[in-house]
């Protein structure tokens, strides 16, 4: 596609969701970036400007405010050209300059191996804590780099793809950006696990060819039933399956595709929450649901904000199909996560701070950064951090009905420390769903947890370190243990000797 055509497509994309957008600033950013990158080529040989245009287009597809799209166009200018952040601020204002500066800080890292990995994690965490929008732009930048990896040497292909699977995609998942997570994973999958990629692709394509006619039939029946009930339907479509997530499910199910119940999935978009529940009843009126497979993520949203109704039913000829029922706003949030908050807030007028405050774990990351300034200590705590940030999440309730977001496999002790350090230090036992449970019990989503304390308890049991999962719980238990040893030494060794 010619460069001018690519830019016009970007302009049209912005106009389609924001007719009142300042397209003049978009055009100025395009001209500025085109001039700055004029002599540069990508490894593929194409003009460099194609990369920032594609990055900006991905942001526009997410219906993001104009200043974020503009920053996408300019994101490589300070790093790769003589133009400066100061010039960008003068031309496009402080907010765009702040975003571009954030991307520049996330720029090239010279370290090798584990040092590079640690530094990338650190930079991503800090960028999120400072301004989540920077990381969203970085996702769009990384996605195009992954989609054009074929032009660089195999060793670098593998490194970039692995980093995307291990760092970028899990963070996208924590931000609720399901579509971005899936695209990053699929683009990286074939470079990290090429044989597994080909096997999964062939399996899914064969399944798709066999099932497409059947799926059309099921969607037609569902549409007719909903219309007969006079329930307005905005859209019914088959859900596109991401290869990497399918591969991971296959591994959990002994590589048996027949055991993956959501391989065939239908999305139903209706106007209101009441319509979602109405549609669920109509679908259950025709097809029998599988026991335990009805999931109400509207009443109990996932920790990353995902809301939807899921049901898995026995359809015609005994085939199993999953239905996902939601409103357009929920669909936008499910696809784009935190980014959808900007799209649904008067085109970005809501402050970044108010959005960041919705994600407690982002601010917690900033605190962890202060605790772990030393690289050796950071390396020691790396696995804890990966569990805190990247592991699948569960949501657990207090007796009052408050929801806590914890890593999968967390225990009542992790729960207690998540509420308050004193609660963790003095807990003696727990009730899970009104039944006494050991402190080492693994919690599940939906559990109601009550902590029993002993006010006279001196502090946590060091043996808890054998089963707690979160960085916060481990650090508080270790901190108390260290203080106890120091106090013991002070008690048994004469004070004059210590002074010497």
Report the catalytic residues.
Answer: 79-80
Rounded-to-integer distance, Cα 99 and Cα 348, Å: 14
Sign of CA dihedral 187, 192, 195, 200: negative
Contact call for residues 337 and 172 (beta carbons, < 8 A): yes
> Could you tell me the CA-to-CA distances from 394 to 3, 73, 98, 287, 403 in Å, in that order?
46, 37, 34, 29, 10
Distance CA 470, CA 417 (A): 9
Residue whose C-alpha is closest to residue 264's, from 240, 299, 300: 240
Question: Which residue, 113, 52, 41, is CA-closest to 78?
Answer: 52
Q: Which two tokens stand for residue 373?
A: 């300034």
d(CA 394, CA 444): 6
> For residues 355 and 363, what is the distance between their CA atoms, to the nearest angstrom?
11
Pairing of strands 449-453, 265-269: unpaired
The total number of residues written for the chain in this structure: 500
Residue reference for tokens 């004070």: 495
Terminal C-alpha separation, the chain: 77
Cα 70 to the center of its chain, rounded Å: 23
Count of CA atoms in the C-beta half-sphere (13 A) of 296: 9
- Residue 4 and residue 12 in contact, taking contact as beta carbons nearer than 8 Å: no
Tell how far CA 471 is from the center of its chain: 19
């Amino acid at each position: 596609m010619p460069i001018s055509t690519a830019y016009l497509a970007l302009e049209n994309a912005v106009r389609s969701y924001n007719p009142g957008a300042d397209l003049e600033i978009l055009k100025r950013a395009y001209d500025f970036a085109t001039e700055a990158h004029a002599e540069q080529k990508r490894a593929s040989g194409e003009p460099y400007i194609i990369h920032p245009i594609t990055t900006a287009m991905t942001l526009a597809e997410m219906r993001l405010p104009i200043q974020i799209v503009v920053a996408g166009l300019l994101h490589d200018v300070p790093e790769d050209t003589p133009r400066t952040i100061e010039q960008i601020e003068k031309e496009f204002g402080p907010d765009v300059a702040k975003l571009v500066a954030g991307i520049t800080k996330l720029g090239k890292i010279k370290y090798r191996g584990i040092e590079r990995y640690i530094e990338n994690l650190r930079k991503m965490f800090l960028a999120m804590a400072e301004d989540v929008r920077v990381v969203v732009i970085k996702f769009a930048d990384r996605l195009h780099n992954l989609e054009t990896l074929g032009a660089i040497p195999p060793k670098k292909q593998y490194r970039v793809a692995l980093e995307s699977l291990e760092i970028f995609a899990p963070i996208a998942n924590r931000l609720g950006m399901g579509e971005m997570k899936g695209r990053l994973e699929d683009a990286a999958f074939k470079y990290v696990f090429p044989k597994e990629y080909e096997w999964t692709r062939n399996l899914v394509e064969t399944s798709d060819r066999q099932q497409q006619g059947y799926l059309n039939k099921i969607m037609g029946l569902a549409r007719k039933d909903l219309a007969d009930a006079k329930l307005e339907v905005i859209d019914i479509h088959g859900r596109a399956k991401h290869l990497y997530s399918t591969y991971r499910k296959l591994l959990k199910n002994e590589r048996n595709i027949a055991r993956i119940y959501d391989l065939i999935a239908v999305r139903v978009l209706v106007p209101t929450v009441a319509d979602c529940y109405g549609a669920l009843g109509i679908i259950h009126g025709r097809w029998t649901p599988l026991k335990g497979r009805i999931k109400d993520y509207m009443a109990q949203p996932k920790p990353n904000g995902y809301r939807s109704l899921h049901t898995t039913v026995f359809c015609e000829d005994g085939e199993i199909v999953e239905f996902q029922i939601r409103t357009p706003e929920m669909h936008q949030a499910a696809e784009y996560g935190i980014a959808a908050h900007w799209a649904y807030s008067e085109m970005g007028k809501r402050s970044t701070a108010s959005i960041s405050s919705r994600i407690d774990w982002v601010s917690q990351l900033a605190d962890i950064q202060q605790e772990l300034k030393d690289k050796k200590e950071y390396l020691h705590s790396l696995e804890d951090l990966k569990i805190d940030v990247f592991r699948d999440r569960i949501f657990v309730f207090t007796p009052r009905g408050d929801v806590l977001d914890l890593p999968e496999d967390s225990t009542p002790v992790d729960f207690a420390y998540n509420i308050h350090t004193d609660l963790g230090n003095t807990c003696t036992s727990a009730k899970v769903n009104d039944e006494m449970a050991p402190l080492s019990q693994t919690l599940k989503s939906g559990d109601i947890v009550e902590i029993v304390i002993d006010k006279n308890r001196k502090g946590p049991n060091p043996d808890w370190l054998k089963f707690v999962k979160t960085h916060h719980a481990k650090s508080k238990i270790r901190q108390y243990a260290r203080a106890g040893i120091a106090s013991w030494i002070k008690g048994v060794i004469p004070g004059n000797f210590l002074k010497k």
